[in-house]
Structure 1
Amino acid sequence: MAEEDKVEPTLEAGANPAPAAAPASATDEAPPPPKSKKKLFIIIGALVVLIGGGAGGYMYMQKAEADKKAAEAEANKPENILKKQLTERKQNAPPIYIPLDEMIVNLPGRGGEHYLQTKIVLRTADPSTEGKVKQFMPVIRDKIITVLSSRQMQELATVEGKTMMAREVALVINSIIAPQLTAIYILQQQPNTADLQNLERIGAIPKETSTGKKITNEAARAAAEFWNVTEMDLPVQAVLFSSFVMQ
């Protein structure tokens, strides 16, 4: 067929032409959220977590410190100190012996001047007792001399007199290094008025507790009824004489 014979197809009357596809526009897609706002939200959230964690840590430390102080105050109460001492009994522990330097004192008595020359050994079951004795040694020696020189020579010539003096020396030392426990032990023995006056005179019965507060007879007797304190519970359990010469 010749080119001039080709006829272009035509639309029938009344037919609508097909709409042409509209070109894509950049404004048809939703824009992504700004990155700066997203970062801001992340930073704010991190700050909130840090601030909250820091405040919580501070409060925890404050509570821990308060609990520690409360526990220390409770442990330092006289009754709790006594409980601790009694729960740490060492009745079955092997004895420890602490020798003291030789002492020479004048003795009152008939027939002129007399003196006592002796060496004392302390028996304990607590290794910490030796350190406490050394710490208070000047006071302990002074009190021991007071006890030794308060006895008549005739008294110390008997077994009973020597035993009583050894007991008083032990009480003197214990009253210095463990005043509360010693006061309760003495009051448990139910001493008479004369014995109490003698123990106060030589300094065997403490007049003050380790906290600096005076111990009343009522408080000590109440404690004596609650706790059973024996010689084995005291720091110095016995006083022994390695030499004992009177002239």
Structure 2
Amino acid sequence: MADSEQADAADGAEAVAAPKGKLKLMIAVAGVFVILGGGAATWFLFFRGGHSSEVKQAEVAAAKPPVFMDVPEMLVNMTGAPGERVQYLKVKVVLELKEDKQVEAIKPTLPRVTDLFQTYLRELRPIDLNGSAGLFRLKEELTRRVNLAVAPNAVTAVLFKEIVVQ
């Protein structure tokens, strides 16, 4: 009977050991899945995105350079307080366009653009042009006005070649 009790105890130990072995196996399999999932996520987030940025760089390289169109030089007297000396503003600007064909479309409206620029510039006071903030506001306002004049075409920016306040 002692032999049967020892055999039953050995079977019980194996029965108890079997669930612990299954638990370790399940933890190992789960660990493998976590590692594989982390590797897949890393590849998807970091390495897969690198290919799309190369494509974006190729598209940027293939983009056409902007086209520039000169506007005739303007010399206007600026508004001042009564009794002050008259100050003049001399401006040379260039229009930045996206395509070459826009130049031909804008040329017929150039007198309107020049008129809009001159009427706006005559209303400026010398204090309006102080500092880089004043020039930035002038640039933005001229861009807005030229886009209204040449619609449906669009000017990307108005660039200053020369500005003299005297």
TM-score by length of 1: 0.39
Q: Which runs of structure 2 are paired with 1:40-51 in the superposition (5 Å)?
A: none
Secondary structure of 1:119's match?
A: strand
Any unmatched runs of 5+ in structure 2?
A: 1-62
CA–CA separation in structure 1 for the residues paired with 2:127 and 2:142: 18
Matched-pair contact (CA < 8 Å) for 2:71–2:114:
no
Q: CA deviation at 1:237?
A: 0.8
Counterpart selection for 1:128 from 80, 101, 113: 101
CA–CA separation in structure 1 for the residues paired with 2:72 and 2:115: 13
Q: CA deviation at 1:244?
A: 0.6
2:161 maps to what in 1? 242
Counterpart selection for 1:106 from 57, 71, 77: 77
Q: Count how many residue pairs are aligned between Structure 1 and Structure 2.
A: 103
Q: CA deviation at 1:121?
A: 0.7
Q: Which runs of structure 2 are paired with 1:1-247 in the superposition (5 Å)?
A: 92-110=63-81, 111-178=84-151, 235-247=154-166
Q: CA deviation at 1:137?
A: 1.4
Q: CA deviation at 1:238?
A: 0.8
* Deviating 4+ runs (over 2 angstroms): none
CA–CA separation in structure 2 for the residues paired with 1:104 and 1:170: 19
TM-score by length of 2: 0.57
Q: Percent of aligned pairs with the same residue?
A: 29
Q: CA deviation at 1:174?
A: 0.9
Q: Deviations over 1:132-153 (max 9, x none)?
A: 2211111111001112122211
Secondary structure of 2:147's match?
A: helix
Paired letter, 1:102: E
Matched-pair contact (CA < 8 Å) for 2:67–2:96:
yes
Secondary structure of 1:136's match?
A: helix
Matched-pair contact (CA < 8 Å) for 1:147–1:165:
no
Q: CA deviation at 1:95?
A: 1.1
Paired letter, 1:119: K
CA–CA separation in structure 2 for the residues paired with 1:128 and 1:105: 31
CA–CA separation in structure 2 for the residues paired with 1:132 and 1:148: 25
CA–CA separation in structure 1 for the residues paired with 2:79 and 2:106: 28
Matched-pair contact (CA < 8 Å) for 1:147–1:168:
no
Q: Could you say which structure has the larger radius of gyration?
A: 1
1:86 maps to what in 2? none
